[in-house]
């Protein structure tokens, strides 16, 4: 699969995984954080951000390929989760 094909495949899943939470869903996540991580309101109206990871791709992309070269000597995409609702992931 070409880099363009991979990008289109990832983009086609956007609306399945990326959507705004309702107020009720946000409150459930905030309560989970308070109960399990003990932050107790210090972060309640903010965001939780995870360190990123590299998703290795099969070969050097044809367009701007050098931009995808990683410090580990392969080509990859940087993926980072920025979310206020992490209880679904832990």
Tell me the three-class secondary structure of 3-48, residue by residue: HHHHHHHHHHCHHHHCCCCCHHHHHHHHHHHHHHHCCCCCCCCCCE
C-alpha–C-alpha distance, residues 50 and 20, integer Å: 19
Which pLDDT score, from 0 to 100, does residue 14 have?
83
Which pLDDT score, from 0 to 100, does residue 34 have?
80
The pTM score is 0.40
Q: Is the pLDDT of residue 90 over 80?
A: no
Q: Which pairing describes strands 82-83 and 48-49: parallel, antiparallel, or unpaired?
A: antiparallel
**Of 42 and 63, the one with more pLDDT:** 63
Q: Which of 17, 24, 38, 32 is nearest to 82 (CA)?
A: 17
Express as a percent the part of the chain with pLDDT over 90: 0
Residue 3: which pLDDT band, with cuts at 50, 70 and 90? low
Q: Which of 16, 24, 11, 10 is nearest to 85 (CA)?
A: 24
**Of 88 and 65, the one with more pLDDT:** 65
Task: Please compute the mean of the pLDDT values over residues 8-28 and round it to a whole number.
Answer: 83
């Amino acid at each position: 699969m070409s880099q363009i094909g991979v990008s289109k495949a990832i983009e086609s899943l956007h609306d399945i995984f990326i959507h705004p939470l309702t107020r009720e869903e946000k409150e459930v996540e905030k309560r989970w954080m308070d109960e399990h991580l003990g932050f107790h309101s210090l972060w309640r109206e903010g965001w939780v951000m995870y360190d990123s990871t590299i998703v290795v791709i099969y070969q050097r992309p044809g367009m701007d390929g050098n931009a995808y070269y990683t410090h580990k000597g392969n080509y990859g995409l940087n993926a980072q989760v920025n979310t206020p609702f992490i209880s679904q992931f832990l």
